[in-house]
Structure 1
Amino acid sequence: MTATPPHRLLLVHAHPDDESIGQGATMAKYAAEGRGVTLVTCTAGEMGEILVPELEHLAADREDRLGEHRQGELANAMKALGVSDHRFLGGFGTYRDSGMKWHEDGHAVAADEVHENAFWNADLTEAASHLVAVIREVRPQVLVTYDEFGGYGHPDHIQAHRVAMYGAQLAAAPSYRRDLGPAWDIAKIYWGTISESRMRESLRRLRDAGDTTSFEGMEPDGQLPPLFSPDGDISCEIDASEYVDRKLDALRAHATQITTDGPFFALSNNKGAEALGREQYRLVKGVPGELGEDGWETDLFSGIPAN
């Protein structure tokens, strides 16, 4: 029988690759430290854009087998990060990627046509109950998901936020669905984010190095999308710089979605560990723990006794 790790983190993401982009370094760090890391992915990313020409036949408008392929990519990414506990919400194929389109203001919105089984159409209580079962089994002290806008407006990110927040609330109610296990109250909930000041610093380095294409449309002193948070809203920064190589390997595993000449790899070549190895979070439930020099926590589990 495997011993339960004294500290346990649960992450709720919409599609394969979201986890590696947002919290890959944190996941690798905690897994290496022996902390429990559980990832719940809500869809298989069936509607994703395919960046590998020889795999274009897998697209939704052709063979519609991209989800199966991305399931394998995600498994490889988890191996790179050292994470062994990964589940699809409700089981693989329960919810389908909803797709999206770009609004004229530059953020994502729901597509004009959405599949009947799309995650965007999911019954909230049903979907949250699938998560309740995981929460009561794993008993995480910390949950990480998106903010209410899903970072950039993608309908599946927004729905993942709703499911995570409602699922956490239902999991703590002793009288709710006793068949799913004993109630469990998650001590701290964070929304993943990116520091505005950190991003501006990275952009400045890229532009000074002559890179004018990575993160096109963003400038060091210009307006940034809502994906980035003012430093005053940030509660925690994990310095996982020594695990950047694992994060990069996980990003490479998502080959249909991320290219090695894309913006993340540009950052990795530009004072890389500092750019990609520091991941920020907003605390939305719970009490802040010990603060570091920047006035932010340096550990998501800070202030939480191991149990």
Structure 2
Amino acid sequence: MTRSRTTSAARRLMLVHAHPDDETLITGGTIAAACDAGIEVLVVTCTLGEEGEIIGDELAGLAAQHADQLGGYRYWELQRALSALEAPESRGRVRGVFLGGAGRWRDSGMAGTDGSRNPRAFINAPLVDTASALAALIQDFQPHVVTTYDPNGTYGHPDHIRVHEVTHRAVELAAASARGWDVPRLYWSVIGHQAFQENAARLSGVPADWVREPGGGLGLFPDEQITTRIDVRDQRDRKAAALQCHATQIMVDLPNRAFALSNWVAQPIMDEEHFVLVRTTGHPVPDGQAAHGLFAGPGPT
């Protein structure tokens, strides 16, 4: 459980993610920008990422099918990444917690794998249990903005899809409880297809063994449905540094502002991050152009 919020007037942002590294890959620039804007940020991670594919041979023995120690290592990677996203003058504005405590639910892996059949897998936990745990965090932190994934979970990972379901249910539970908090704004964090393709097509000079396949990256969401675009150019160096902290999962080519996952597909570190506003309430949101628009502007009810 996170500690109590510092002041009732502070603007608060909660981002819900499936595994360590998702927070940086999809919303790292936004987290950094929110810190710069004086916003309190709480990153909720639902699993330790135990089933992740490990890049390189040095740490390969940590994998689930060997020592099964990857989760603890990725816990450490996440702490370093969150620190990298903060500017020196904004230390303490970003906090990270694991849903239910570190290791409460396990990375499910991809559909049909041994990980997905593990009784402790996140996708096998009753929705009421995971959503209630997140609702309790929402009630405690009282975020003005919550972000989760789109219904396809960015790229179809079962844990991402489950995070979408859990977050939507938790927002409902938090609003309905006796000490409820009706989240003013709920967003999906997405990666626009066209914007991603344009950035990927401009990549040049990446390592020769990386695959140039613009269609093989994370950008799958229809651009016309995006409601909010966050300019993160000023935070891009911190995002790149945070990506480097997730070395078991991500390779970073700093000169060319690119990264690759275990599939070795070259992907751009983009100038903007994308969101879709899917729910608003009558609860007031603190004024200010904080986090480049997540806290302001019209939207659906």
TM-score using structure 2 length: 0.82
1:91 aligns with 2:94: no
Superposed CA offset, 1:194-237 (max 9, x none): 22231121122126x78897664435xxxx88842222201000
Partner of 2:244: 252
Residue matched to 1:104:
none
Partner of 2:24: 20
Partner of 2:67: 63
Shift of 1:73: 0.3
Q: Does 1:31 pair with 2:35? A: yes
Q: How far, CA to CA, are the matches of 1:75 and 1:267 in structure 2?
A: 20
Runs ≥4 residues deviating over 4 A: 209-216, 224-227
Deviations 1:162-215 (A, max 9, x none): 1111000110003xxx4xxx10011111111122231121122126x7889766
2:31 & 2:16 partners in 1: Cα distance?
12
**In structure 2, do the counterparts of structure 1 residues 56 and 132 end up closer, same or farther at CA, with 3 Å as the change threshold?**
same
Q: Which residue of 2 aligns with 1:80?
A: 84
- Distance in 1 (alpha carbons) for counterparts of 2:211 and 2:151: 23
Question: Structure 1: how far apart are the matches of 2:41 and 2:206?
Answer: 38
Equivalent of residue 296 in structure 2, options 293, 296, 302: 302
The one-letter code matched in structure 2 to 1:193 is: V
Please list, as runs of the form range in 1=range in 2, the aligned pairs for 1:1-307 lying within 5 A after superposition. Answer: 2-4=6-8, 6-82=10-86, 84-100=94-110, 109-111=111-113, 114-174=117-177, 178=178, 182-206=179-203, 216-218=212-214, 227-261=219-253, 265-266=257-258, 276-286=270-280, 298-303=292-297
CA contact (8 A) 2:240 2:252 kept: no
Question: For residues 8 and 213 of structure 1, what CA distance do their matches in structure 2 show?
Answer: 42
Structure 1 pair 232–72 and aligned structure 2 pair: CA distance change class (3 A): same
Tell me how far apart the structure 2 counterparts of residues 110 and 157 of structure 1 sit (CA, whole Å).
Answer: 15
Structure 1 counterpart SS, 2:59? helix
SS in 2 for 1:276: coil
Contiguous gaps of at least 5 residues in structure 1: 101-108, 269-273, 288-296
Hey, what's the Cα distance between the residues in 1 that align with 2:8 and 2:238? 24
**Equivalent residue number for residue 294 of structure 1:** none
Cα contact 1:206–1:267 (8 A) shared by 2: no
SS in 1 for 2:67: coil
Is the alpha carbon distance of 1:143 and 1:185 closer, same or farther for their aligned partners in structure 2, counting shifts above 3 Å?
Answer: same
What is the TM-score of this pair, normalised by structure 1?
Answer: 0.80
Unaligned runs of 5+ in 2: 87-92, 261-267, 282-290
Q: Secondary structure at the match of 1:172?
A: helix
For 1:154 and 1:115, the matched residues in 2 are separated by: 16
Cα distance change on mapping 1:157 and 1:68 into 2, 3 Å: same
Aligned residues: 271
Structure 1 SS opposite 2:19: coil
Checking the alignment, whether the CA contact within 8 Å between 2:43 and 2:94 is kept in structure 1 is no
Distance 2:81 2:8 in 1: 23
d(CA) in 1 for partners of 2:240, 2:9: 26
Distance apart, 1:267 and its partner CA: 6.7
CA RMSD, aligned part only? 2.8
Give the aligned partner of residue 292 of structure 1: none
